[in-house]
Each structure stands twice: as C-alpha cells, then as structure tokens.
Amino acid sequence: MVTSGLFLEGDHGLIALSESPFELEDDLQELVARRPELLSGDDDAATGRRWLLIRREQGIATGPGEGARFSLDHLFVDQDGIPTLVEVKRSSDTRARREVVAQMLDYAANARFLEPGELRSEFEREHGDAAGEELKARLGEGMDPDELWRATAGNLERGNLRLVFLADKILPELRTVVEFLNEQLRTMEVVAVEVATFQAGEIRVLRARTIGQTQAAKAAKGRSRRTPEQLSEAAKKAWATRRAREQDAL
C-alpha cells in the first residue's frame, strides 16, 4: 500500500491512511451500483442530486427495433429524469485512456433508441412489488413515477444526457478529453469522477472528485440552461411527439 498523507486522529495519536486500489473492475462497478452518491463527486452543483439505478450492463441498440449491440456499465436517472450513462474503468486498464471515450460516444449517439417504456418495465420487473418503494427511497417520497418516466422520455428525445467516466484514477489524457467535451457539448454534461480508496485497519475512506466542470463548461451550459418549468414542458412535448410517432407506425 502507498502512503497517502492522510491521517485519522485518535486517542493514541495519528493513524496513517494508505491507498488501497481496487483489485477488480467489478468491485468498483459494484460499489457505484450500491453507492450512487459517489457520482456527485465534489461538485457543489450536484449537491442534493439523487440517483436511481435502472440497470447494470444496459444494452443499447443502434437502430429502432434492433437488438442491443453495446453494453453500458450502468444506466441511472436522476430526480429530473436525466439519463446518466456511466462507464467504469480502472486506471491500470489502458482502455481508460482512449477506447473508453469512443465507447461512451457510441452509447450517447445511440441512447435515443432506448425505449422509456422498456426501461420502466425492466426496472419494475427487477424490483417486483418493491419497485415503487425503491424509486421513492432513491429519488424522494414526492416523486411521481409517471412524471419521472415522462421526463426521461423527453430527455432521451432531446439528447439531454449526462456522461460519467468513473475510475480509481483519472489520467491526464482522459481529463483533457472530458473537459473539452463538456465545454463543447450543449445538451450533454460530460464529467469524470475519480474514486480513490484509503485504508486504516478496518476503516475504509472513499474520496470522490469531479473532473470536467471547468469555468468554460459552466458558462457554456449556463447560456443554454432552462428553468425546471421549461424543462418539464419540453419533456411533455417530446413525450407527446414520441407517442404520436408510435401511433402513426401502428
């Protein structure tokens, strides 16, 4: 283990915390699924954001009615119905540098082929009779399931997505790409979250840092930001448009 320079103060002095990297990528994936609060990192704007896991290994098709071609590590939605695509890699995996960016862009480009009705069915099938309780436990007691899925449909229609690259260490090459994408894309938020772990005996400490929220990105997003009421109205219109298309196809 590598000394981190972090200490716990106890009755008998300081206890050094040592870096304790994840041995398996699946361990990091499982942690994110269990503790999605980590996705907020240390971003002040994300304070109070709540997350609902729709599915791990979410299939994504490349056309309407086609079978899944890609497999996304995690698909979440937040309390505003914004689909959040999460790809997890350990820093020791060289794909964390370049290939993961291409993968994520493939997922984002084809996310419009995700069917909100199918996502809802998958979630409710996974949780059974406890689906409603799980949704409210994660997103708040006042959350209306129908409103959530309508908002999700609208956000998918408009490409209003959040892309999260998550790793135990964000390498400089990935940081540069994430910051560039977040500054250039208007309807998508693109961030990286670095989750480091430290150990002192049985005590485990996690540190989540958000990367990509540059001042230029915040300014760009601010110029195109709409109020919650405007977003809700846009989501309803997008939902109505989608339903009309489905009826025309029958």
Structure-model confidence comparison of residues 26 and 240, the more confident one: 26
> Are the C-beta atoms of residues 117 and 146 closer than 8 Å to each other?
no
Instruction: Provide the token pair at 220.
Output: 């760009």
User: Among the residues of 10-87, which ranges form H helices?
Assistant: 25-34
Q: Is the pLDDT of residue 62 over 80?
A: yes
pLDDT in tens, 189-198: 999 999 999 9
pLDDT band at 235 (very low <50, low <70, confident <90, very high): low
Identify the three-state secondary structure at position 139: helix
- What is the pLDDT at residue 226? 45
Over range 109-131, report the average pLDDT: 93
d(CA 75, CA 80): 14
Instruction: Provide the token pair at 51.
Output: 């997350």
Q: Is the pLDDT of residue 54 over 90?
A: yes
Instruction: Provide the token pair at 35.
Output: 């503790």
- What is the pLDDT at residue 238? 53
Q: Is the pLDDT of residue 237 over 70?
A: no
Mean pLDDT of the residues in the chain: 86
Q: What is the pTM of this model?
A: 0.83
* String of DSSP letters for 66-102: PPP-EEEEEEEEETT--EEEEEEE-TTSGGGTTHHHH
- What is the pLDDT at residue 104? 95
Residue type at position 144: D
d(CA 40, CA 191): 10
pLDDT in tens, 159-216: 999 999 999 999 999 999 999 999 999 889 999 999 999 988 888 899 999 999 888 8
36 exposed, middle or buried (CB, 10 Å; 0-12, 13-18, 19+)?
buried
d(CA 205, CA 212): 23
pLDDT band at 231 (very low <50, low <70, confident <90, very high): very low
Domain ranges of the chain: 2-249
Q: Over the range 91-111, which residues count as b (16 or more CB within 10 Å of their CB) and which as e? A: beeeebeeebbebbeebbebb
Residue type at position 52: L
